[in-house]
């Protein structure tokens, strides 16, 4: 059942508070473990997770630091960066690559006996936007280093996974895998009144219990309201900027259209003027030729002694014009 005009029962997953509470706290560690196993679908099996310090510093004092949403490792020492992104950033992919360097560099061992062997690093982005519009159904991106000639994976220990959540459109009766169910729960969480029948696994019982606003302590409720307000303010600013951009685009389009129309009109006017000029020049030339022909005919007739009145009638000249020849 979904909400229609009623107060939300469950948190909005895309708020910072909700994301970190559900996926970034020790008490709810099983939720993240289940999500990762569903996402990796047998490629890796995460038996246990340990949360790591989410604030990472560079190797030098002046290096830029990185603050991860959730940073953890499994029992084999493999690292997982899990990020929730509300909106597209100009250099979103660059940011992902930059963040991935921290769990790589921290594996370096002091001394000269390290042979550069690394544990796997996974950077996972749960995105509340789309960055690839080429295929509306392609929402699950898994990226590795690849040999461009052979099209084979060159290095399998660095993986970037991006989930474009707006493209996930399955309904409850279409949910089959645990991965489907997790994406449905994440996307529709604030619009639900009850746990859907398709999500009856024990882990979802914990998920919805942890997400229920009424069960928060007063401090948690305050923190969530502040986080929700920030999310709504951000959404309002984003919508305003988008609408302003559209209006500015339309205004620029109208100005460009007027300029193009004026230029087109001027060019068309010049073309028509040239055509009219050519026609007028041709007519003027023809008329001048006919006048010269009449004068020559009059001269010929006058040399033969024909009377001026008769020559005038024959050529269209006046008697005075004939007499002046």
Q: Where are the domains of the chain?
A: 16-215, 292-324
Q: Exposure of 140 by Cβ count < 10 A (0-12 exposed, 13-18 middle, 19+ buried)?
A: middle
- Site of tokens 């030729």: 289
pLDDT in tens, 89-106: 788 899 999 999 999 999
SS3 289: helix
SS3 60: coil
CA dist., res. 317 & res. 325, Å (int): 11
CA dist., res. 268 & res. 273, Å (int): 8
pLDDT in tens, 31-71: 999 999 999 998 889 999 999 987 765 554 445 566 789 99
Q: CA 2: distance to chain centroid?
A: 29
pLDDT in tens, 178-211: 999 999 999 999 999 999 999 999 999 999 999 9
CA dist., res. 14 & res. 22, Å (int): 11
């Amino acid at each position: 059942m979904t909400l229609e005009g009623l107060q939300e029962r469950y948190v909005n997953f895309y708020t910072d508070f909700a994301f970190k509470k559900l996926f970034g706290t020790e008490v709810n560690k099983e939720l993240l473990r289940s999500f990762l196993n569903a996402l990796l679908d047998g490629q890796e099996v995460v038996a246990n997770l340990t949360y790591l310090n989410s604030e990472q510093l560079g190797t030098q004092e002046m290096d830029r630091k990185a603050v991860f949403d959730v940073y953890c490792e499994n029992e084999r020492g493999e690292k997982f960066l899990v990020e929730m992104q509300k909106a597209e950033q100009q250099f979103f992919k660059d940011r992902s690559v930059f963040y991935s360097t921290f769990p790589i560099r921290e594996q370096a061992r002091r001394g000269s006996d390290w042979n550069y062997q690394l544990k796997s690093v996974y950077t996972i982005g749960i995105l509340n936007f789309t960055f690839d519009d080429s295929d509306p159904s392609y929402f699950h991106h898994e990226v590795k280093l690849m040999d461009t000639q052979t099209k084979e994976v060159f290095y399998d220990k660095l993986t970037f996974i991006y989930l474009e959540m707006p493209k996930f459109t399955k309904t409850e009766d279409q949910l089959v895998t645990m991965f489907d169910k997790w994406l449905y729960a994440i996307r529709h969480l604030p619009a639900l009144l009850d746990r859907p029948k398709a999500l009856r696994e024990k882990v979802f019982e914990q998920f919805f219990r942890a997400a229920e606003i009424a069960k928060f302590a007063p401090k948690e409720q305050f923190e969530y309201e502040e986080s929700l307000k920030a999310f709504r303010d951000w959404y309002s600013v984003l919508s305003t900027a988008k609408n302003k951009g559209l209006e500015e685009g339309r205004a620029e389009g109208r100005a460009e259209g007027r300029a193009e129309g004026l230029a087109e009109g001027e060019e068309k006017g010049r073309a028509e003027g040239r055509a009219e000029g050519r026609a007028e020049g041709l007519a003027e030339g023809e008329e001048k030729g006919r006048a010269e022909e009449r004068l020559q005919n009059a001269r010929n007739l006058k040399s033969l002694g024909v009377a001026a009145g008769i020559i005038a009638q024959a050529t269209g000249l006046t008697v005075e014009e004939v007499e002046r020849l």
